[in-house]
Homo-oligomer: A and B are copies of this chain.
Amino acid sequence: MNEGSTSTARAIEFWFDFGSNYSYLSMMRVEALAAARNVTIVWRPFLLGPVFRQLGFENSPFVLQKEKGAYVWKDMERQCRKYGLALTRPSTFPRAALLAMRIALLGANEPWIGAWCRQIMQLNFVGDRDIGSIDVVSEALDSLGLPVQSVLDAAQSDANKLRLREQTERAISKGIFGAPTFFVGGEMFWGNDRLEDALDYCDTIVARQ
Protein backbone atom coordinates (compact mmCIF):
# COMPACT_ATOMS: atom_id res chain seq x y z
CA MET A 1 0.00 0.00 0.00
CA ASN A 2 1.06 3.46 -0.79
CA GLU A 3 -0.66 5.23 2.08
CA GLY A 4 1.44 8.36 2.02
CA SER A 5 0.97 9.14 -1.62
CA THR A 6 -1.70 11.78 -1.13
CA SER A 7 1.02 14.28 -0.41
CA THR A 8 3.06 13.38 -3.47
CA ALA A 9 2.93 15.96 -6.22
CA ARG A 10 1.34 14.83 -9.47
CA ALA A 11 -0.66 12.02 -7.92
CA ILE A 12 -4.43 11.59 -7.96
CA GLU A 13 -6.29 9.32 -5.56
CA PHE A 14 -9.15 7.63 -7.37
CA TRP A 15 -11.84 6.32 -5.02
CA PHE A 16 -14.30 4.07 -6.82
CA ASP A 17 -16.77 1.20 -6.56
CA PHE A 18 -17.43 -1.16 -9.47
CA GLY A 19 -21.18 -0.79 -8.96
CA SER A 20 -21.07 2.98 -9.47
CA ASN A 21 -22.11 4.12 -12.94
CA TYR A 22 -20.25 7.42 -12.82
CA SER A 23 -17.16 5.54 -11.62
CA TYR A 24 -17.41 3.63 -14.92
CA LEU A 25 -17.06 6.87 -16.88
CA SER A 26 -13.96 7.86 -14.91
CA MET A 27 -12.47 4.37 -14.95
CA MET A 28 -12.47 4.26 -18.74
CA ARG A 29 -10.85 7.70 -19.01
CA VAL A 30 -8.53 8.17 -16.05
CA GLU A 31 -5.45 6.33 -17.25
CA ALA A 32 -5.13 8.15 -20.57
CA LEU A 33 -5.89 11.53 -19.02
CA ALA A 34 -3.46 11.00 -16.14
CA ALA A 35 -0.69 9.67 -18.37
CA ALA A 36 -1.00 12.66 -20.70
CA ARG A 37 -0.34 14.94 -17.72
CA ASN A 38 2.31 12.76 -16.12
CA VAL A 39 0.10 12.15 -13.09
CA THR A 40 0.26 8.92 -11.07
CA ILE A 41 -3.02 7.21 -10.16
CA VAL A 42 -3.41 5.95 -6.60
CA TRP A 43 -6.17 3.35 -6.81
CA ARG A 44 -8.61 3.40 -3.89
CA PRO A 45 -11.38 0.84 -4.19
CA PHE A 46 -13.96 1.23 -1.41
CA LEU A 47 -17.47 -0.02 -0.75
CA LEU A 48 -20.10 2.58 -1.52
CA GLY A 49 -22.90 0.62 0.19
CA PRO A 50 -21.60 1.13 3.76
CA VAL A 51 -20.93 4.80 2.93
CA PHE A 52 -24.53 5.29 1.80
CA ARG A 53 -25.82 3.44 4.89
CA GLN A 54 -23.66 5.67 7.10
CA LEU A 55 -25.36 8.66 5.44
CA GLY A 56 -28.78 7.15 6.12
CA PHE A 57 -29.49 5.75 2.65
CA GLU A 58 -30.45 2.10 2.38
CA ASN A 59 -29.57 2.02 -1.31
CA SER A 60 -28.11 4.18 -4.07
CA PRO A 61 -29.80 7.60 -4.27
CA PHE A 62 -30.32 6.74 -7.95
CA VAL A 63 -32.61 3.92 -6.82
CA LEU A 64 -34.23 5.67 -3.86
CA GLN A 65 -35.07 8.83 -5.84
CA LYS A 66 -36.92 7.61 -8.89
CA GLU A 67 -36.88 10.98 -10.68
CA LYS A 68 -33.11 11.25 -10.32
CA GLY A 69 -32.72 7.59 -11.19
CA ALA A 70 -34.66 8.01 -14.43
CA TYR A 71 -32.57 11.03 -15.35
CA VAL A 72 -29.25 9.38 -14.53
CA TRP A 73 -29.58 6.77 -17.26
CA LYS A 74 -30.41 9.39 -19.87
CA ASP A 75 -27.41 11.33 -18.68
CA MET A 76 -25.26 8.20 -18.83
CA GLU A 77 -26.32 7.56 -22.44
CA ARG A 78 -25.37 11.08 -23.44
CA GLN A 79 -22.12 11.04 -21.48
CA CYS A 80 -21.09 7.71 -22.97
CA ARG A 81 -21.85 9.02 -26.45
CA LYS A 82 -19.72 12.09 -25.70
CA TYR A 83 -16.79 9.99 -24.49
CA GLY A 84 -17.18 7.28 -27.14
CA LEU A 85 -17.95 4.61 -24.54
CA ALA A 86 -20.32 1.68 -24.92
CA LEU A 87 -23.16 1.34 -22.41
CA THR A 88 -25.76 -1.26 -21.54
CA ARG A 89 -27.91 -0.35 -18.58
CA PRO A 90 -27.21 -3.14 -16.08
CA SER A 91 -30.26 -5.27 -15.40
CA THR A 92 -29.26 -5.19 -11.71
CA PHE A 93 -28.28 -1.83 -10.25
CA PRO A 94 -26.29 -1.16 -8.25
CA ARG A 95 -24.46 -4.45 -8.63
CA ALA A 96 -22.54 -5.74 -5.63
CA ALA A 97 -19.02 -6.75 -6.60
CA LEU A 98 -17.37 -7.58 -3.29
CA LEU A 99 -14.94 -10.16 -4.61
CA ALA A 100 -13.90 -8.02 -7.58
CA MET A 101 -13.42 -5.08 -5.20
CA ARG A 102 -11.22 -7.21 -2.93
CA ILE A 103 -9.13 -8.13 -5.96
CA ALA A 104 -8.85 -4.44 -6.90
CA LEU A 105 -7.57 -3.70 -3.41
CA LEU A 106 -5.14 -6.60 -3.60
CA GLY A 107 -3.82 -5.35 -6.93
CA ALA A 108 -3.87 -1.63 -6.21
CA ASN A 109 -0.11 -1.36 -6.72
CA GLU A 110 0.21 -4.09 -9.33
CA PRO A 111 0.77 -3.44 -13.03
CA TRP A 112 -2.53 -5.14 -13.86
CA ILE A 113 -4.74 -2.89 -11.72
CA GLY A 114 -5.94 -0.64 -14.54
CA ALA A 115 -6.72 -3.54 -16.86
CA TRP A 116 -8.53 -5.35 -14.04
CA CYS A 117 -10.70 -2.39 -13.20
CA ARG A 118 -11.61 -1.66 -16.81
CA GLN A 119 -12.40 -5.31 -17.42
CA ILE A 120 -14.81 -5.50 -14.49
CA MET A 121 -16.43 -2.18 -15.35
CA GLN A 122 -16.99 -3.28 -18.94
CA LEU A 123 -18.44 -6.61 -17.81
CA ASN A 124 -20.95 -4.67 -15.68
CA PHE A 125 -21.77 -1.63 -17.80
CA VAL A 126 -21.37 -3.08 -21.29
CA GLY A 127 -21.78 -6.84 -20.93
CA ASP A 128 -24.43 -6.67 -18.17
CA ARG A 129 -22.68 -9.63 -16.51
CA ASP A 130 -23.01 -10.48 -12.84
CA ILE A 131 -19.68 -9.15 -11.60
CA GLY A 132 -20.64 -10.33 -8.12
CA SER A 133 -20.36 -13.99 -9.12
CA ILE A 134 -17.18 -16.00 -8.65
CA ASP A 135 -17.59 -17.44 -12.16
CA VAL A 136 -17.53 -14.06 -13.88
CA VAL A 137 -14.66 -12.89 -11.67
CA SER A 138 -12.67 -16.05 -12.40
CA GLU A 139 -13.30 -15.65 -16.13
CA ALA A 140 -12.10 -12.04 -15.95
CA LEU A 141 -8.92 -13.03 -14.09
CA ASP A 142 -8.25 -15.75 -16.62
CA SER A 143 -8.81 -13.42 -19.58
CA LEU A 144 -6.09 -11.16 -18.18
CA GLY A 145 -3.70 -14.08 -17.80
CA LEU A 146 -3.72 -13.86 -14.00
CA PRO A 147 -3.40 -16.98 -11.79
CA VAL A 148 -7.07 -17.43 -10.90
CA GLN A 149 -6.93 -19.54 -7.75
CA SER A 150 -4.03 -17.79 -6.07
CA VAL A 151 -5.57 -14.36 -6.68
CA LEU A 152 -8.95 -15.54 -5.35
CA ASP A 153 -7.29 -17.00 -2.26
CA ALA A 154 -5.31 -13.86 -1.52
CA ALA A 155 -8.33 -11.61 -2.17
CA GLN A 156 -10.45 -13.65 0.23
CA SER A 157 -7.88 -13.81 3.00
CA ASP A 158 -8.99 -12.35 6.31
CA ALA A 159 -6.26 -9.74 6.08
CA ASN A 160 -7.43 -8.49 2.69
CA LYS A 161 -11.10 -8.51 3.70
CA LEU A 162 -10.20 -6.42 6.73
CA ARG A 163 -8.19 -4.00 4.59
CA LEU A 164 -11.22 -3.33 2.38
CA ARG A 165 -13.37 -2.64 5.44
CA GLU A 166 -10.67 -0.29 6.72
CA GLN A 167 -10.38 1.47 3.37
CA THR A 168 -14.15 1.98 3.41
CA GLU A 169 -13.91 3.41 6.93
CA ARG A 170 -11.21 5.77 5.67
CA ALA A 171 -13.51 6.89 2.88
CA ILE A 172 -16.14 7.81 5.45
CA SER A 173 -13.63 9.60 7.65
CA LYS A 174 -12.39 11.60 4.66
CA GLY A 175 -15.92 12.89 4.04
CA ILE A 176 -16.55 10.83 0.91
CA PHE A 177 -20.28 10.58 0.15
CA GLY A 178 -20.31 9.20 -3.40
CA ALA A 179 -18.21 7.80 -6.20
CA PRO A 180 -16.10 8.47 -8.03
CA THR A 181 -14.23 10.79 -5.68
CA PHE A 182 -10.73 12.13 -6.30
CA PHE A 183 -8.19 13.60 -3.93
CA VAL A 184 -5.27 15.71 -5.05
CA GLY A 185 -3.06 17.14 -2.35
CA GLY A 186 -5.83 16.94 0.22
CA GLU A 187 -8.44 18.59 -2.02
CA MET A 188 -11.53 16.52 -2.67
CA PHE A 189 -13.25 16.40 -6.06
CA TRP A 190 -16.53 14.54 -6.43
CA GLY A 191 -17.87 12.98 -9.59
CA ASN A 192 -16.71 12.12 -13.06
CA ASP A 193 -17.45 15.73 -14.03
CA ARG A 194 -14.54 16.84 -11.85
CA LEU A 195 -11.91 14.40 -13.11
CA GLU A 196 -10.29 16.96 -15.42
CA ASP A 197 -10.42 19.64 -12.71
CA ALA A 198 -8.75 17.27 -10.26
CA LEU A 199 -5.98 16.49 -12.72
CA ASP A 200 -5.54 20.20 -13.50
CA TYR A 201 -5.18 20.78 -9.78
CA CYS A 202 -1.95 18.73 -9.81
CA ASP A 203 -0.34 21.58 -11.75
CA THR A 204 -1.48 24.09 -9.13
CA ILE A 205 0.24 22.11 -6.39
CA VAL A 206 3.47 21.75 -8.33
CA ALA A 207 3.44 25.46 -9.12
CA ARG A 208 3.17 26.23 -5.40
CA GLN A 209 6.20 24.16 -4.43
Contacts and interface: CB of A to CB of B under 8 A. Distances in A.
Interface of A: 55, 65, 67-68, 70-71, 74-75, 78, 82, 175-178, 187-190, 193-194, 197
Contacts of A187: 74
Contacts of A190: 71, 75
A188 B65 contact: no
A175 B55 contact: no
Contact of A177 (B68, B74, B75, B176): B68
B193 A65 contact: no
Nearest 6 Cβ contacts at the A-B interface: A67-B177, A193-B193, A67-B175, A68-B177, A71-B190, A71-B188
A70 to B, nearest CB: 6
A23 B162 CA distance: 43
A74 B197 CA distance: 13
Scoring A55, A71, A82, A187 by chain B CB atoms within 10 A of each residue's CB, the highest score goes to A71
